[in-house]
Structure 1
Amino acid sequence: MTTPPSWDAVYAPGAAPPPWDIGRPQPAFVRLADRGLLSGRLLDSGCGTGENVLLAAARGAEATGVDISPQAIARARDKAAERGLTARFEVADALRLGQLGMTFDVLIDSGVFHIFDDADRERYVASLAAVLPPGGRCYLMCFSDRQPGTVGPRRVRQDELRAAFSDGWEVASIEADTFEVNPGIEFSPGTSAAAAQAWLASLVRRAG
């Protein structure tokens, strides 16, 4: 597997944190954890430096995180050791999750779905399905078309989410939410905010 330099470079020692690496779990996933929904065998697809995985591990989940960036995974492992938490972190491609040879009860995606073009979006949904048996649930948060401007990730409409997960999935809910981001990021001209508009989708794998 060849690591795209752009992904690994953003986590290089001494580099400024990328917008999404806020040094704590995203509040939306904290709320899910507070409801007991981040439990059992859990996988974070595109975990970055591991904050959401470590949140789940601290709440008792058998938590695994994967990311294509070795730098991100190294930092996630260091965090787990520093906090005395048991979590598994592996370098892996989110488009080839089946290669893990594992299945999970819960998947989480915090800001990965929206990075893909249409072709890779289809591959990504199939990759998620490869590790989530029927009845398993995926909590996915992506950039929303309610976010003004064009800077940053591709904006996603609700109907795009529903279409992407129309075959073999049930879209249980899609709710408006926000990503916390590092201050100073301008996603729309003339504005600088510590949050960006998002959708939080709850998706269930169907049998057959």
Structure 2
Amino acid sequence: MSSQWQNRWEERYASVGQLWSGEPNDLLMGLAEGWQPGHSLDLGCGEGDDVLWLASRGWQVVGVDVSPTAIARLRSRSAERGLTGVEGVVVDLSSEPLPVGPFDLVTSFFMHGGPSEGSIVLEDVLVQAAERVVEGGRLLAAVHCSNPPWRRHHVRSFRPEALAAEVLALLPEGAWEVESCAEQWRDVTGPDGQAGRRSDGIVCWRRLA
């Protein structure tokens, strides 16, 4: 049975031919460019922009999303580019378990959740994901910290340092560290040409044992 979470996102994807930009997140590229490729899991992968970028650099990537339409687009784009080692799986993170792994890297980009019934709780999903990460591996999450006035659809926003500390406290003591935690501001343009600013947080946890 489909959840409210799944229905909401499937409607968004099915209503347009392409929901996102088609480009990978610059926050991911800035950190992962120099990392040794391995096995990775992308939570809420959407149409697969980050999945395809990682796969093009030698990673074996599993992308999961609640929307069957989004996963179908990921699979199609992967096949068009001749990328091997890409798997797309429909998973409702509000109620279903993650792929078992193990993974060298788990990523979550702008998957916020919210207070509505059936929504995910980001912190809980990240803790579940951390259980799939091997020693020396990383858990990477990007979140919105502040938005311009025309972008109010995110019911949750985060402080990166607070998210870093909260998730670390939920993980086995001494087994993880916060490798990096930062906030990045950028200029953005609204739908009617108005100027504004947005900030995003990026947190990377590293498994020590």
**What is the TM-score normalised by the length of structure 2?**
0.79
Aligned length: 196
What residue is the counterpart of 1:201 in the other structure?
203
Counterpart check, 1:69 vs 2:67: yes
Equivalent position amino acid for 1:140 in 2: A
What residue is the counterpart of 1:6 in the other structure?
8
Equivalent position amino acid for 1:202 in 2: C
Quickly say closer, same or farther: Cα 1:116–1:134, change in 2 above 3 A. Answer: farther
What residue is the counterpart of 1:109 in the other structure?
108
What residue is the counterpart of 1:91 in the other structure?
90
**Deviation (angstroms), 1:126:** 2.5
CA distance in 1 between partners of 2:104 and 2:75 (Å)? 22
What residue is the counterpart of 2:178 in the other structure?
171
Quickly say closer, same or farther: Cα 1:180–1:134, change in 2 above 3 A. Answer: farther
Q: Deviations over 1:160-189 (max 9, x none)?
A: 3021332323222111236898x6458xxx
The answer (yes or no) to whether the contact 1:22–1:180 under 8 Å persists in 2 is: no
Partner SS for 2:202:
strand
CA distance in 2 between partners of 1:179 and 1:76 (Å)? 28
The answer (yes or no) to whether the contact 2:127–2:170 under 8 Å persists in 1 is: no
Runs ≥4 residues deviating over 6 A: none
Which residues of 2 match residues 78-157 of structure 1 at below 5 A? 78-86=76-84, 87-95=86-94, 98-112=97-111, 114-117=112-115, 120-145=121-146, 147-149=147-149, 151-153=152-154, 154-157=156-159
CA distance in 2 between partners of 1:17 and 1:160 (Å)? 33
**Deviation (angstroms), 1:17:** 4.5
Quickly say closer, same or farther: Cα 1:179–1:125, change in 2 above 3 A. Answer: farther
Equivalent position amino acid for 2:169 in 1: S
Equivalent position amino acid for 2:177 in 1: E
What residue is the counterpart of 2:50 in the other structure?
52
CA distance in 2 between partners of 1:142 and 1:28 (Å)? 10
Q: Gaps (5+ residues) in structure 2?
A: none
**What is the TM-score normalised by the length of structure 1?**
0.80
The answer (yes or no) to whether the contact 1:177–1:198 under 8 Å persists in 2 is: yes
Relative contact order, CA 8 A, sep 6+: which one is greater? Answer: 1
The structure with more strand, counted as a fraction of residues: 2
Partner SS for 1:47:
coil
CA distance in 1 between partners of 2:166 and 2:89 (Å)? 30
CA distance in 2 between partners of 1:159 and 1:32 (Å)? 17
**Deviation (angstroms), 1:133:** 3.0
Coordinate RMSD, CA, aligned: 2.9
